[in-house]
Structures are given as C-alpha cells and as structure tokens.
Amino acid sequence: MSDSLIPRLKQIIITTLNLEGMTPEEIDENAPLIGSGLALDSIDALELVVKLEKEFGIKISSSEESRAALASITSLASFIRERADPSKLSA
C-alpha cells in the first residue's frame, strides 16, 4: 500500500494541475510542493486540496494542516495514510 501511494499522488498532481510533459519520475517526492520545488501557487494548492479530499475522503481544514501535508509528497502521503479510509488507499 505504502509503495503505491507516492506514485499515485504524483500522477494525481500531474493530472489535476495539467503539468503537461512532466512524468511522475521527474517529481522529487521530498521537494517542497509550494513555493520552491514544484512551485505550486495558492490556486494550484486549492485545486489539489479539493481533489485529494474527494479522492481520499480526507479533510485538510487549516493552514497548519496544509503546511504539514503539502510540505512534500512524502509528507502528503503520511498525512493521507493517517486519515484516509483504507478502502480509498487501495484504489
């Protein structure tokens, strides 16, 4: 389960944010998602959060949670594993 979540998150990010020409392998799972790294802006973050909440049945409800969750893909995966319905993790 844990092995497949990170590639799945990378694919969600690429699809949701229309990162055309980018492959999952090109995304560093330890790089910051916002600002540097993938350099997502606030609208990207909003769109991503909406998609993740729907996909995994989770709720990111404050900026503190978002800072922790969106620090990197690795931390996002940990956040989701802690809160998501297990059936949604295996989708």
Partner 1 sequence: MSKPAATRRRNPGPSWGYGFLRALDFLLPEFLYKPIRGIGTLVAMAFMPAQRRHSREYLALALNRRPSTRDVFRHFFAFEESLMTKLRVLNGRPHKTVYAPGADDARQWMETGGPAFLGTFHVGDSDLQGFLIGDELHARVHNKIHIVRERVGNSHDTEKLAEKFGGRIAFIWVNDPREMIYAMKDAALTDNAIALQCDRCEHSARTAEFDFLGAKRRFPITIYILAAIFRRPVILTFGVPQAPGLAALHSPPRFDPIPGEPRAATLARGQKHFQDFLRQLENILREKPYIWFNFLPWNSKPSA
What residue ranges bind partner 1 (CB under 8 A)? Answer: 18, 41-47, 49-50, 60-63, 66-67
- 7 contacts 75 by C-beta, under 8 angstroms: no
To the nearest whole angstrom, how small is the minimum distance from the Cβ of residue 63 to partner 1? 4
Q: Of 67 and 88, which has the nearer Cβ to partner 1?
A: 67
Instruction: Report the C-alpha gap between 58 and 85 in whole angstroms.
Output: 8
Residue closer to partner 1 (CB basis): 46 or 91? 46
Nearest approach, Cβ of 35 to partner 1 (angstroms)? 9
CB atoms within 10 A of CB 33: 22
Task: Report the alpha-carbon distance of residue 48 to residue 12 in Å, rounded.
Answer: 8
Tokens of 43: 């609208």
Distance CA 46, CA 51 (A): 9
**Minimum distance of partner 1 from residue 85's CB (angstroms):** 19
C-beta closer to partner 1: residue 44 or 76: 44
